[in-house]
Every structure is written in C-alpha cells, then in structure tokens.
Amino acid sequence: MKILILGGGGMIGQKLITYLAKNPVLNGKNINEVRLVDAFIEPKVPSGAPFPIHSQIADITDRESCDALVKEEPEIIFHLAAIVSGEAESDFEKGYRVNLDGTRNLFEAIRATANYCPRVVYTSTAAVYGGPYPEDSDDDFILQPTTSYGTQKAIGELLLNDYSRRGILDGIGLRLPTICVRPGKPNAAASGVFSNIIREPLVGIETTLAVSKDVSMVFASPRSAIGFLIHAVQLDTSLLGSRRSMMMPGVHATIGDEINALRRVAGDKVVSYIKEAPIDAFAQQMVDAWNFPAFPATRARSLGFTCEKSFDELIHLHIESELDGKIPGQSA
C-alpha cells in the first residue's frame, strides 16, 4: 500500500508519520511506501520504519506538482495541507490559493488519472459553521462560515462530496476541533491562543492572554487527531451517503475553563505565567467568529470516532507525551 501525506511537515503530519512508522499495517494491508510532502520545508522522517519514506518539498498550488504526486497512484491520500486560520484571514489571496485552488488541483490530478479512485481523507474544520448557534447544534447545522479559512474549507467539503459522488475519489472530510495542546512553538493560527496558555506556562514561560476568557471552543488532543485520521481510512464510506464530512468529537471548554483545568493539574504557580493583556481586536474578532457550542458530534460518535472526556485529560496527555510525564520544576 502506498500512502501520500500532504502537509507532512506540520504537527499533525509529523504525528501521523510517526504513528504509521510504528504501525505499518493499515486496513489489513502492509504499508509499502509513504511519500511525505510539504510546501515549505522538507518533512522530517522518523527512524525505524519498516517501509521507505520519501520526503520532499512540493506545492499543491502548482498543478504539475499534483500530477507528479498522483502519478504514483497512492491508495490513501491524507490531505492535511492548508494555510491556517489567522494567515488565511490576513492574506486573502494566499488563503484561497492554497486552501481552495490547491485542493482543486489535487482533485483534478486524481480525475485525470485513469482507473484510479483513492481514499482521500480531508481535514476540514469546525470553522465551516458560524454563529449564532442554537443550543442543540450538530452536524446538520447550516454551514455559514464567518472567516475566509472556514469558507475555503467549506468549499473544499463540497468539492469532496461532488468528486466522491462521481466516483473520482472516495473522500471523507473530518471537521477537526481545535487540536490542543499543540506541541512546538506558536504559529499563525488564531486558535493558537488555546494551546499557548497551557504549553508555555507548563515549562515556566510567560504567555500573553489578549482575548476574553469567556470564548468557548471544542478541543481534541493530537493523539485523538491521529485516531480520527486512522479511523477515517478504515471506515466503510458507504455509511456516509452523500454527506461526506462530519464534525469530530471534542471537549467543550472556555478559556476560563482551560485555566481552571491548568490550575487543577499544575498549580497556581504555573497559572501565574499567564499574563492578561488588553484585548487584541483582530484575535478577538477571530475567536468570536467561532465561540462554538458543545457539538455532540452524534454522527461521528455513532461511526466509532472517539476523543478525550475532559480538558484535564488533554493537559495530562501533553505532559506525558511532550514533557516526559513531568512538569519542569515539580516533583513527580
């Protein structure tokens, strides 16, 4: 089995290839080869994989690059490549070029390949929705995105539906919650604040909070994100009907809830590294555009997708996976 991972240099792409290197059988088939692709950096390759991993820089906004990648006819394509929310909002043309035109280039490259219909796992976002939300919002709530990023992803979902309907590809779209706690350094995603106020304080670094504590979001861990992707590959897509995308399960919490969870897990000293600042108008506008309700993700849960049960659990998972199970400066 050949696998193509687009956006392979990002956090989720790197977590995914690490998982596959340790679990080389998927859907009962041995993985024979993985191609790891990113537009900006040559993705890191984990050691010890029992199959070859090819890492390269390639840009899906270039149709010829997509043709070359699809020419190898990977059985599974993980389409993780995207310009993140804050950058898509601040750079209108770049956001549409990557998030929309790049996706269309990929799908068209698949269409141009005779007798070929890969499983395409497309990472979408809860930002395809838009408020105000009724309390019982779920998958069937109307898509009315209030950001460019959400709009681009919603169009991508419609393309995924249509190309799947026509038998060009076998697609499934995963509307991801905010992945938290994200390892590494802050990025241009407006949702980065939700991880920043946990990740930096845990290692004794001050971080600024410049949005309201009342903002709410739906969260899942990096571990759950990989679980969603793997389950999407294994799922019988005939169960999806004509609706190929769905909201993934998550933990609903406000920023205030996050801080309270951090205090329970790590104590007051760690929380003291969060420094409140005057509201940043742009960041507040972005998070206000989401301010999600507690999506029950009924459809995804009925199909076997699972996640954590509390924000405390998300913090504990980060400590275990990224801090060797111990908060710096605290006894075990």
Model confidence at 329, pLDDT cuts 50, 70, 90, reads confident
Strands 76-79 and 251-254: unpaired
pLDDT tens digits for range 161-191:
999 999 999 999 999 999 999 998 876 666 7
pLDDT tens digits for range 16-65:
999 999 999 999 999 999 999 999 999 999 999 999 999 999 999 999 99
Query: What do you get for the CA distance between the two ends of the chain, in Å?
Result: 43
The rounded mean pLDDT for the chain is 94
Q: Residue 149 catalytic?
A: yes
Model confidence at 289: pLDDT above 80: no
The pLDDT assigned to 332 comes to: 58
Model confidence at 203: pLDDT above 80: yes
| Residue position matching structure tokens 């290839």 | 17
pLDDT tens digits for range 128-137:
998 777 777 7
pLDDT tens digits for range 225-243:
999 999 999 999 999 999 9
Instruction: Domains for the chain: give ranges and CATH numbers.
Output: 2-176+221-247 (3.40.50.720), 192-217+251-295+304-322 (3.90.25.10)
Catalytic residue among 122, 129, 149, 163: 149
